[in-house]
């Protein structure tokens, strides 16, 4: 594939991304009874294109961890996250037992949607390894672990990592399973897989919040972003966006704390956009724009509830750049120069 075709590939991806972005209201032109089908079709097409682009750029090799991160914004239903957060908010208190019950409940719900139907039948020894007593303690009295569910659970266990209180998807193995049966996989199958992965991650995060030592287990199996405190773009962007005057302009002070913003910056630098940000940072003419571009996307995503000039003025309290407030505010609005705008909007929705 030559550079001309690669560029065309990227243009198609950008066009599809812009089309499904609700900010652009393109879907408003589609008859209401066709919108769901049209949305699904474009999401599937975009997923295939992004996967193909990654495979091409990597010389035919697939890193399923990276592929998951690439497709997560497309195939993770936002309602999954909203539902989980609502479940948490409705609890009087959250215990490890409640989290483990929730986790098993979601696993069973997803298995009942038959996502393991493409895998080889479970062997007797795999079914016998299912510990009934260990499982039944986390389900309600009305629920039953029937033989069929045990067989499906045995197949799913082939693709799970279980250590201590942590259960997570083995993305390399599960990715290979999905790719092997990609022609048979439906849109609903893919969404169910990403729902399971997202929910397990949210449960694990809450388990870690109650027992921080569990993070060590997660770190063994999930590639963690390298520490970016010494990385110039991340360090400067963090210092700019966590100034007292800047934090005063966030839309939700309980949610969008300095810690939230620092984690956001780390994840942005660790994303597929990190390399481009680093390259632009090396160019002194582009460097001054990068914090402004990030700040501008956060206004668009609703993290900051203010005008661009007001945020620019707050930023310049401690960072007296050699540009005017109006110029800095203009940088924030350079949408054509914001290749990570969609990523930021999806991140804010999911976090």
Give pLDDT tens digits along the chain (351 positions): 444 444 455 565 666 666 666 666 666 766 777 767 666 666 666 666 666 666 666 556 677 777 777 778 777 888 898 899 899 888 888 899 999 999 999 999 999 999 999 999 999 999 999 888 878 777 776 777 788 989 999 999 999 999 999 999 998 898 888 888 877 888 888 889 989 999 999 999 999 988 988 988 998 888 654 443 336 788 888 888 888 888 998 999 888 998 899 888 888 887 778 877 877 777 767 777 788 888 888 888 889 888 888 888 887 755 555 566 666 667 666 655 566 778 888 888 887
State residue 228's pLDDT score. Answer: 38
State residue 65's pLDDT score. Answer: 77
- Residue 206, both tokens: 């809450």
Secondary structure element (H or E) that encloses residue 265, with its range: helix 258-270
Q: Which long-range contacts (CB under 8 A, 24 or more apart) does 281-286 make?
A: 281/232, 281/233
Phi, psi for 258 (deg, rounded to 5): -60, -40
State residue 198's pLDDT score. Answer: 92
Which 3 state secondary structure label does DSSP give 168? strand
Work out the angle at residue 233's Cα, subtended by the Cα atoms of residues 21 and 262, and round it to the nearest 5 degrees: 70
Secondary structure element (H or E) that encloses residue 161, with its range: strand 160-163
The per-residue pLDDT for range 237-284, each reduced to its tens digit, is: 888 888 888 899 899 988 899 889 988 888 888 777 887 787 777 776
| Cβ neighbours of residue 308 closer than 8 Å, sequence gap 6 or more | 296, 299, 329, 330, 332, 333
State residue 107's pLDDT score. Answer: 93
Secondary structure element (H or E) that encloses residue 284, with its range: helix 284-287
State residue 1's pLDDT score. Answer: 41
């Amino acid at each position: 594939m030559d550079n001309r075709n690669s560029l065309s590939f990227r243009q198609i991806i950008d066009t599809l991304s812009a089309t499904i972005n609700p900010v652009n209201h393109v879907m408003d032109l589609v008859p209401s009874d066709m919108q769901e089908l049209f949305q699904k079709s474009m999401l599937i097409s975009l997923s295939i294109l992004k996967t193909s682009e990654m495979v091409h750029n990597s010389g035919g090799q697939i890193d399923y961890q990276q592929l998951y991160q690439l497709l997560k914004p497309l195939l993770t239903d936002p309602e999954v996250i909203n539902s989980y957060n609502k479940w948490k908010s409705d609890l009087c208190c959250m215990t490890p037992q409640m989290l483990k019950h929730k986790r098993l409940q979601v696993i069973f719900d997803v298995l009942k949607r038959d996502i393991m139907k493409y895998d080889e039948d479970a062997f007797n020894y795999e079914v016998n390894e299912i510990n009934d007593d260990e499982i039944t303690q986390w389900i309600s009295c009305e629920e039953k672990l029937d033989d069929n569910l045990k067989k499906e659970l045995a197949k799913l266990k082939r693709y799970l990592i279980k250590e201590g209180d942590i259960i997570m998807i083995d993305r390399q193995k599960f990715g290979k399973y999905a790719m092997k049966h990609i022609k048979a996989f439906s849109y609903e199958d893919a969404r169910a897989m990403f729902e399971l992965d997202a929910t397990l991650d949210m449960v694990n995060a809450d388990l870690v919040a109650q027992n921080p030592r569990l993070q060590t287990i997660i770190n063994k199996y999930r590639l963690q972003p390298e520490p970016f405190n010494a990385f110039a773009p991340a360090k400067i962007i963090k210092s700019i966006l966590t100034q007292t005057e800047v934090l005063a302009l966030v839309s939700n002070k309980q949610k969008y704390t300095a810690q939230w913003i620092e984690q956001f910056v780390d994840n942005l630098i660790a994303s597929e956009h990190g390399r481009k940000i680093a390259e632009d940072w090396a160019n002194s003419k582009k460097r001054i724009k990068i914090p402004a571009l990030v700040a501008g996307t956060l206004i668009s995503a609703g993290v900051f509830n203010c005008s661009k000039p007001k945020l620019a003025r707050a930023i310049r309290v401690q960072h007296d750049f050699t540009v005017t407030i109006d110029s800095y505010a203009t940088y924030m609005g350079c949408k054509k120069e914001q290749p990570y705008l969609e990523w930021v909007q999806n991140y804010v929705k999911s976090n």
